A and B are shown apart, each in its own frame.
Chain A
């Protein structure tokens, strides 16, 4: 998952980004002003937008309007130091999904971020499953028939991204865009290597669910029960 933080106070942005990386395993990008933030949303790489309301250049509300005008459904969480009801109503009506007032609790922010991403992908419960595999987004663990599978952070993130869209073809490009931030040096074969490791680990526990490679098109998480 990849999150964009648009916040002019660098210390706050840094703390949130660090918490999202460490606790949720998300890739995080930060923008310091409204214009940069608005421009970065146009790539549609993000699974969640975290916007400060009072920004230099362009305020959070304008960014929300701009994103929604593009029919971009990415969940939006607003951070605001002012909590007048009228303003909250205006924000939500403009298309924001949730808001938090400063000073917020970092734990609450992480929980809301996860919930928004989950619901944005149509999964109301934090536990997702395909075949015998179940993935817990809160604990960041993967089990096969109750047995814990030991995955690296990147492998977990890959599986988490794919499990939200079972049976859909996900391109390598999309995976790169949604799992890595801008500071990461892109290597085209890194995804293939991680997928391969993930396949091995799933096979090792006897799971029939696998990730199929469709040459030139991408990857697909396939559960065997469908054919059976």
Chain B
């Protein structure tokens, strides 16, 4: 809101403006058509009136009672509007009579046209419409059976009144249109405000969402609006996903804090117990031994947490490859003493073909040792343990199978969750922090693979890692494999 750099445009404002403009155009067009129609009718009646007045002027043509037996016009006998201009002429051009109040200019303009019919002209600032025709006037019908006289009549009347009258006649329509326009504008504003309220509601609702309160339940009015429903639903979906991600993060931070606090509690209480009373040298030595073990466990926990953080944040090394077969073999050799201690039989690999996958040597080592150490710790004495790398088509499978007591079915969906322990007391005793499988999963997914776990209580557990096979690498990559052999050997 404070950012005034972006000029906001109101959707409802634009809609109202658009509709009103269209309405205004309609009203103007309507008025123009109405006035045009009115004008047409008036012009026709004007013409009829003009002809009527001209005819009555014609009727005023009479014998001049002079020797040439001429005719004349006596306008004084007629009642004609004072502003009208007219002239009566004989065929030879002689003026028989004209409007008494007219000026010479008006008369000159009147007689400028010589074609019979209606025409318009201007004299000074006044517009006129005129009619010119030749008529036959029969004079002295009683005396000699009538004398036929041909006269030309030109008659004009000013038209400004006609325009004024037309506008006055249409006035009602124009006022009605303007009123209608105002009423529809108000109605439109009200209607749009009302109809656009779901949009405002949606914006308000979205504004209330924070990282603390994720509640976003679109109201029914929004969901009923065809244009808004997809926006609201996708927002709801998005926020749900974000909330879950936030919750996971919060859970993880809480779990990490819990683990660290527990480790510190062990150290602190051990130290305080040791210093509570004077002890013998043997007691101090035993206490220090315990403290050292606690510190090693804490170091392990921190290392694993950092590994997980690195896996989640560091970019994937695109060209990393290593021979998984070799990594598994070297880890099995390294873990042979532990296997003997736990009386577990490490089974030899089925084949020894090099199988390359897109792991960095460090990641491959962490993954394989995690899985194999896990299997070793879960194995029952005299059990067998398989760790094989095999190819199926263009996929490489790593299978680690033990004959241990298995994992309860209820715990299986959670084993990849961070800090999850199916049996906490036992895992704690074996030094696990519930991060091994989470780390394994992160490594596998970074390389575009999948990890699955199957377990039967009392029978054993099988972890299967499926990875896209990488073609036998170039010289550079084989150098890296050699490197992995040395790094996993130490």
Give the interface of A toward B (CB within 8 A): 8-12, 15-16, 18-19, 22-23, 32-33, 54-56, 81-82, 101-107
Contacts and interface: CB of A to CB of B under 8 A. Distances in A.
Given A15-B273, A18-B273, A105-B272, A9 B266 contact: yes
Interface residues of B, number: 24
Contacts of B429: 10
22 contacts: A8-B425, A8-B428, A9-B265, A10-B428, A12-B266, A12-B269, A19-B276, A33-B424, A56-B424, A56-B425, A81-B257, A81-B265, A82-B257, A101-B261, A103-B264, A103-B269, A104-B265, A104-B268, A104-B269, A105-B272, A106-B268, A107-B272
Contacts of B423: 56
Given A8-B428, A81-B258, A22 B277 contact: yes
Contacts of B258: 54, 81-82
Interface of B: 254, 257-258, 261-262, 264-270, 272-273, 276-277, 290, 294, 421, 423-425, 428-429
Contact of A102 (B265, B277, B424, B425): B265
A11 B290 contact: yes
A11 B257 contact: no
A81 B262 contact: yes
B276 A9 contact: no
Contacts of A10: 425, 428-429
Given A10-B428, A23-B276, A82 B269 contact: no
A47 B62 CA distance: 148
Given A102-B262, A103-B261, A103-B265, A33 B425 contact: yes
Nearest to B266: A11
Given A105-B272, A107-B272, A15 B425 contact: no
Contacts of A23: 276-277
Contacts of B262: 9, 12, 81, 102
A10 to B, nearest CB: 7
A11 B294 CA distance: 9
A15 B266 CA distance: 8
Contacts of A11: 266, 269-270, 290, 294
B254 A82 contact: yes
B272 A9 contact: no
Nearest to A108: B272
A106 B271 CA distance: 9
